[in-house]
Amino acid sequence: MKFFKLWANAIESETPQERSFLAAWQQRTVQRIAPEIPQSVAAADLTKISVMGAMIAVAALFGCWWEAWLVLLVPVGVAINWFGAAVDGPLGAYRQEAGPKRGLTEHLADLFSQLIVIVAYGFSPFLSLQSSVVILSCYLLFSTYTFIRVTAGRPGQMALIGIGAAEFRILMAGWPFAALALGLARSAPSSFSTLDYAIMLLAAVALISLTLKIIVDGLIITSARG
């Protein structure tokens, strides 16, 4: 129980600028869910479920070239991925099963899940490969810096203008429907489009924000040690 309480207080240690819009809601939700998970279901099982959810989303994104109804499975897969990834850590902490090896497995599974879904978008009707690579690059940069923050004693959670892991999953789940509604879905692979340029501009803004965040964190850490 002690580990579960420590995890529950982790998000509270973040500054308002570091918290995502859904951080508090997710914290309350997983706190309620974790104690209700049957004893027969281990934290490792939830990690596997999270990866399975990502694979469902990947298969649906590829399949949308041939069967339009498969787009409905994209948010289902992303939701399953969120459930497994959000609850596995708190469940392990609640049952006092958390440890470096378990934490590493959870983070690697989450990283792998996000990578394959982002790449799958580049081979789907809803995003070009160019935009997928740009988004993937930004995701890897932010993930890498998040891990660096942890080693420096800063909060592990990090959000950009309120967008964290949960919000990013919502964007991934909803984008196919937005693309269809806006007429941005492709009938075949094409060259650079207006959407690609828009995503590159957003990526540039994100990278500038990350650079500023690195500078601010560096000043905070330096002043604290001084």
Question: Residue 1 above 60 pLDDT?
Answer: no
What pLDDT score does 121 carry?
95
Terminal alpha carbon distance of the chain = 36
Question: Residue 52 above 50 pLDDT?
Answer: yes
Q: In the CATH hierarchy, which fold is given to the domain comprising 2-225?
A: Four Helix Bundle (Hemerythrin (Met), subunit A) (1.20.120)
Q: Which of helix, strand or coil describes residue 167?
A: helix
- Residue ranges of domains in the chain: 2-225
- The owner of tokens 């940069």 is 141
- Min mean pLDDT across 82-86, 173-177, 213-217 is at 213-217
Q: What is the pLDDT of residues 6-17, one digit of tens each?
A: 433 443 344 444
Question: Residue 127 above 60 pLDDT?
Answer: yes
Q: What is the 3-state secondary structure (H, E, C) of 12-50?
A: HHCCCCCCCCCHHHHHHHHHHHHHHCCCCCCHHHHHHHH
Phi-psi category of 183—alpha, beta or left, where left has phi over 0 and alpha has psi -120 to 50?
A: left
What pLDDT score does 153 carry?
62
Q: Residue 78 — very low, low, confident or very high, per pLDDT cuts 50/70/90?
A: very high
Q: Residue 135 — very low, low, confident or very high, per pLDDT cuts 50/70/90?
A: very high
Question: Residue 196 above 50 pLDDT?
Answer: yes
* Residue 209, C-beta contacts closer than 8 angstroms, at least 6 positions apart: 160, 161
What pLDDT score does 57 carry?
97
Question: Residue 89 above 60 pLDDT?
Answer: yes
User: How large is the average pLDDT for residues 56-84?
Assistant: 96
pTM equals 0.82
Q: Give 114-121 contacts, CB < 8 A, sequence gap 24+.
A: 114/54, 114/139, 114/143, 114/168, 115/139, 116/54, 116/55, 116/58, 117/54, 117/57, 117/58, 117/61, 117/78, 117/81, 117/172, 118/172, 120/57, 120/58, 120/61, 120/62, 121/61, 121/172, 121/175
